[in-house]
Amino acid sequence: MPTSRPASKPKAPADGRRQPTQARAQQTIQTLFKAAAQILDKEGEAGLTTNKVAASAGFSIGTLYQYFPSKDMLVRAMSARGQDLVLQELEGYLRELETRSDVQQMDGRELLGHAIHILLQGFAHGKGLSQTLIRLGWTLEKPDETANAVRQVADRLAVFFERIDHPGLLTPSTAQMFVLTRSVIGTLRSASLEKSPLLGSPAFEDALTQMAWALLARPPASPPA
């Protein structure tokens, strides 16, 4: 998402209160995002144009270009926002578990399964966004940005496993966490780009969970000799 904002002075709305320029800018951006998502849902990628987005949002094309100079930049900004929402949801889930006194008694496979579910919904299935947008975002991805998102997931999960010290789950090594996160998100990326019908199937989610469980399940203790 662009870091620069058009320079302008805040204007007082009709009720006399002053609204910060940043807040107005964010409202404009969200309106543009909503309009673009609606067009994608109705017309697909071929129907998405900056002129249509601006008209649907009720802005001039010049206003849209102040924020997003091209359709690709608009889509990439929407995808980045989607990634942020996924990371926020994952953070909320992990933080809630870390504060639970009974987390060590919970089923380790189910803990992994819900984390996989959050990643699946956000990075492939399109929770809060359309699958068309998710797929389009993957086609326009910049490797450094994707790698940064995956690193954030890996680093947060590493801290989580260390904090909960679950008796049924290993505290993964750096290598194990690298393999796990790149395998999961790489699989989600491929399924999205290939328009795989597996994305909506329980079998797909179960397979990802089983892969994570096979890697992170703590082996049972050996009986005493």
Q: What is the CATH number of the domain that holds 42?
A: 1.10.10.60
Q: Among positive and negative, which fits the CA dihedral 110, 114, 116, 121?
A: positive
pTM to 2 decimal places: 0.81
Q: Is residue 193 part of a domain?
A: yes
In tens, the pLDDT along 133-170 reads 888 889 988 889 889 999 999 999 999 999 999 999 99
115 and 153, same domain (yes or no): yes
* Number of domains within the chain: 2
Give me the pLDDT at residue 126, please: 65
Contacts 24+ apart (CB under 8 A), 173-180: 176/215, 176/216, 178/154, 179/215, 180/154, 180/211, 180/212, 180/215, 180/216
Q: Tell which of 8, 41, 67 closes a domain.
A: 67
- What digits encode the pLDDT tens for the residues 175-219? 999 999 999 999 999 999 999 999 889 999 999 999 999 999 998
User: What domain range is 85 assigned to?
Assistant: 77-216
> What is the spatial distance between Cα 107 and Cα 124, in angstroms, rounded to a whole number?
25
d(CA 72, CA 48): 10
When pLDDT is cut at 50, 70 and 90, the band that residue 4 belongs to is very low
Whether the predicted pLDDT of 13 surpasses 70: no
In a domain, 4, yes or no: no
**Residue with the two structure tokens 């496979």:** 109
Please tell me whether residues 198 and 163 are part of one structural domain: yes
Distance CA 198, CA 192 (A): 10
Task: State yes or no: pLDDT of 70 exceeds 80.
Answer: yes
Q: Look at residue 142 in the predicted model and tell me its pLDDT.
A: 87
Residue 180 lies in a domain: yes
Cβ(81)–Cβ(33) under 8 Å? Answer: yes
DSSP 4-71: ----------TTS----HHHHHHHHHHHHHHHHHHHHHHH-GGG--HHHHHHHHT--HHHHHHH-SSH
CATH for 164: 1.10.357
